[in-house]
């Protein structure tokens, strides 16, 4: 029996992954990743890096980050403590959903994750204090390939559920997209 339930979204390649918890009176075990099981959902690369974020305050926004080719990355993002409003923006050139965004609440309680393909910018807003995420990346972080989209870009009109309480100076400096933005190669 699969340890995951994979749910398609309206965005090609973007999947919601629900972890199944196997538990008893001691607690539970949840498989966060299995290459064999997630290959049918589109994960087709080795895990190159695993990162953890801890965000102290509710309302904090991190993002919207991505890497350009040849360092574009797939991500599998899981919330292991607290809750976040996890947002992706499709930046893929030629995509029918280019410049549209999709969001999911990820929490320790709902056991949901997002499997994000290359060509999407990613960010989140914390819904609870002391929230933690685990990210699996298909590619190493490459400073020369990194880029970002401004979280308040009017062209995207991301519906953040809370007023933005905090955002890093680096993320505030991400440029707004030009009206003639043609997308990124993947």
Distance CA 3, CA 18 (A): 8
Residue 154 has pLDDT above 90, yes or no: yes
3-state secondary structure of 180: coil
Q: Which of 149, 140, 146, 145 is nearest to 167 (CA)?
A: 149
What pLDDT is attached to residue 22? Answer: 85
Angle at 44 between CA 80 and CA 21, to 5 degrees: 30
pLDDT bin (cut points 50, 70, 90) of residue 1 is low
Active-site annotation holds for 65: yes
Domain 44-108+117-172: give its CATH code. 2.60.120.10
Active-site annotation holds for 122: no
Is 148 within 8 Å of 64 (Cβ atoms)?
yes
3-state secondary structure of 89: strand
What pLDDT is attached to residue 15? Answer: 98
Please tell me which residue in 19, 28, 135, 141 is annotated as part of the active site: 135
Average pLDDT over the chain, rounded to whole? 96
Rounded to an integer, the average pLDDT of 41-47 is: 94
Is 59 within 8 Å of 165 (Cβ atoms)?
yes
- What CA–CA distances, in Å, run from 115 to 43, 130, 172? 8, 23, 25
pLDDT bin (cut points 50, 70, 90) of residue 94 is very high
Please tell me which residue in 19, 65, 122, 174 is annotated as part of the active site: 65
**Helix (DSSP H) and strand (DSSP E) numbers for the chain:** 2, 13
| pTM of the full structure | 0.94
């Amino acid at each position: 029996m699969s340890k995951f339930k994979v749910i398609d979204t309206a965005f090609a390649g973007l999947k919601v992954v629900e972890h199944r918890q196997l538990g008893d009176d001691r607690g539970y075990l949840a498989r966060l990743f299995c290459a064999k099981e997630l290959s049918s959902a589109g994960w087709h690369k080795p895990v190159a890096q695993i990162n953890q974020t801890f965000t102290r305050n509710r309302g904090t926004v991190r993002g919207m980050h991505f890497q350009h080719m040849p360092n574009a990355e797939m991500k599998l993002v899981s919330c292991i403590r607290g809750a976040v409003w996890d947002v992706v923006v499709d930046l893929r050139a030629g995509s029918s959903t280019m410049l549209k965004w999709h969001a999911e609440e990820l929490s320790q309680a709902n056991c949901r994750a997002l499997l994000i393909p290359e060509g999407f910018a990613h960010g989140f807003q914390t819904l609870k204090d002391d929230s933690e995420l685990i990210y699996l990346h298909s590619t190493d972080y490459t400073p020369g390939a990194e880029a970002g989209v401004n979280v308040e870009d009017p062209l995207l009109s991301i519906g953040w559920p809370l007023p933005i309480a905090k955002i890093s100076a680096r993320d505030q400096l991400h440029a707004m997209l030009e009206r003639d933005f043609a997308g990124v190669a993947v």
